[in-house]
Structure 1
Amino acid sequence: MSKILILSASPHRDEVVDNLIKQELESLDNKVWTHPCLREGRDAILEHRPDVIVLPPIRNPYSRDLAETCKDFGIGIVSRHTEASCDWQDFKDGNAVTKTAILGRWRYDIDKELVWGDDEAQILERRGAGFPAIAVGAFGVDIYKQTGFRKKFVSRVDFCKKWDFDENKKTLTISSPWGFCDSAPDLSIDEMVEIQREVEGRQKYLDMVNGLKQRLDCNILVTLHPGVLVAPYKQSLDQMKIPLDTESTATDILVNTDVLIHSGSTMGIEMHCMNKPAFQFQDVNEKYTCGWWIKSGSALSRVSPRIEDLNELAKAVSLAEKSNADKTAIKELETGRYGKMDGKAFKRAAKEINEVKGKFKFCWPRAHVDYDQICAFKEEAKAISKGYCGICKKPFTTINVQYLKDLCNALGGDKNKLANVSKQSFCPHCAARFFRK
């Protein structure tokens, strides 16, 4: 038996999946806790002293430091990707900045990295990081594949009572387009601030909500992604007498939704898994082509029929009864970003987590001062990189140019000679120039 701590990136989004993994790990005789990562992570580690910890993706210095500290404590570490990331086409289409973001800007040391699709696992394996990237499937659809899952969530009676809805009428949920799903409402990142400034698109969306209210006789609920500025929506929706949900999980809302309108969201896939219809109004992936996960023409933007005309949209909503998802787009996601959509990703993840061994121990904390020197440093990656020859396929080692510059400066050397040395780049085994670092 192991003591396992699961830290959630965003409980609002990840609670459902984390609970499935928790239950599966408990069935394997482990003791398991779940806590929010940012607000409670450090305290939870000291309180529970776990043998193994499950962390969100390690994408920044904070999460890297957290992982390194856990390693110091002897804790086994698994990183679970909370969202589908990329496929080979995303990677090939990306520039150097994009590829660096996918592969990770900061080097880190863990035991396993659990991702969704096979493509992403193969891409991350290129890093030669010393730990495996393992594809386990689409976490986001798991709950909808479980027998009797509906009973785990708010009943339709209670849902309608909460919002003063008529149980006998169709419930239409409209999801806001602007905002990052994995950002928290009380935290701020540059991209989130940028998207919060969106005015034109937000107003067009609110006009659509008001237009549908005039055209449809149904219950209407608007929900916001975490991170979206609430005040402008609330002010307008209060005037329309339409409720705004900023607290419920997406699953609680969707199981009680008959029809969904979104703007290129993963929620469209979740509706499809329940054989429910969804429509797309506008396209956030087209509006914000700012990264590999958001780009024009994304399969996410082809899952649901896109309708911009209000009369046509109202008619479609009133007639829709079952899933209208584009099967080709779904298949593209399953063979690419998402991976297997068989409802067993959490089981495969739990199996991988259960195999990791660790043992919490108190130790002297790492120094906060960087004592690296030119000839003595903590990480070899500061000075050298691993490569392999594209012709003879043999591995070799290269010295990083930046390290050579630092060394040259320290010795007061000739930078022109350094430039000539660094240009001598060919395979040390067969002298071919076709190699990869």
Structure 2
Amino acid sequence: IIATGRSDYPNQVNNVLGFPYIFRGALDVRARGINEEMKVAAARAIAELAREDVPDEVAAAYHGARPSFGREYIIPTPFDPRLISFIPPFVAQAAMDTGVARKPIDDMEAYRHSLARRADPSASFIQGVQARCKELQRRIVFAEGEEPAVVRAAFSFKNQGLGHPILIGREAQVERAMEQMGIQPGTLEILNARLSDNNPVYTDMLYARLQRDGYLKRDAQRLVNQDRNVFGCCMLKNGDADGMVTGVTRNYDVALNDSLLVLDPIPGQAIIGMSMVINRGRTVFIADTSVTELPQGEDLANIAIEAARGVRSLGFSPRVAFLSYSTFGNPMGERGEKVRDAVAILDGMKDIDFEYEGDMSADVALNTSHKLLYPFSRLTGPANVLVMPAIHAASISTKLLESMSRATVIGPMLLGLEKPVQIASLGATVGDIVNLATIAAFDVDHVHGG
């Protein structure tokens, strides 16, 4: 086993792995100097990080190959985004322990979180959700349990203490994937849908639900045995799990329709997809990004109500803008009329407890001083919930923001189902899957009711 400064060999000893983070930890405690104990602490942190499962950013730097701790990977790569939040706390603690720190850190966990936020604008939000999930310890189904990315995400979810993951798949295939990743057998719970003891219960439950929709009992049996989304949703319906994440290998519509075979919408609520966009310290929610293709006025009103409910449960005060190519009727058009209809519908309701306005173009809705031109606007500030006139507008805008700016997009988060199901995009990264599993564990729709 060799470690060298040369970049054409494995285990490159690179200065950027140590010096920036030693200085960061030393500066943050106002250390009088950098002693040997602080250097050793940095080295031990680097060694510990090398043993962790690597994130997608590291795999991308290795052209898709995912390194794991071993002969050719005993030192983390400089591309690892966790370095900034992992090493400085070790250094700062060593400085405090050896008496050279002039400004000790009282809460090392909070310090670690503050470092993570510097690298990732979504970190603050995710950390808050994760803190709640660590208290709840929900049982979360990972429906596509044979996929390597899903296995890795489930392991990360468990390792971070976010809850109890359950992988749906054939034991041999899942265990083979775990072995390749260096995950010890028995670390993760695996359920084979076909061999589950609960199959008769789930089959009877599903047949009772679908028998008047043209399904025979053998059809229900086949769905429970062979469709992991259906099986996972049966677990939720029967109280054997608390939430589910899926979608990595199937189109969004397929995963949603599978879920609707078992689960109902929450009474009086709409099912929507809502994306959270974080850019330069500003957070905006976009709906509906994944469910209703061409909403009419009533659909748009319901989308706004559900989005506002979800945004409030996440700790934000919703200010809703119904977006269009027009602003307050200029210019008029057929699509704009449907947006205006939605505003009129909300105007006629008595129990609306959030700000809303429309029709508005995006630049007006997000402008902090739009009331100079439109003093009659009911929004007290820039909108933070954007209700799009159609699904294609919502999807295109979120993907453009994610691809062409420094924005971080979380979601779409699925809202409105009786049980928390989150659907990832095809080929989602491990980080995306973990985030959605965390959202499922948090359970946005029922956060106030527990």
TM-score w.r.t. length of structure 2: 0.21
- Structure with greater helix percent: 2
Greater relative contact order (Cα 8 A, min sep 6): structure 1 or 2? 1
TM-score w.r.t. length of structure 1: 0.22
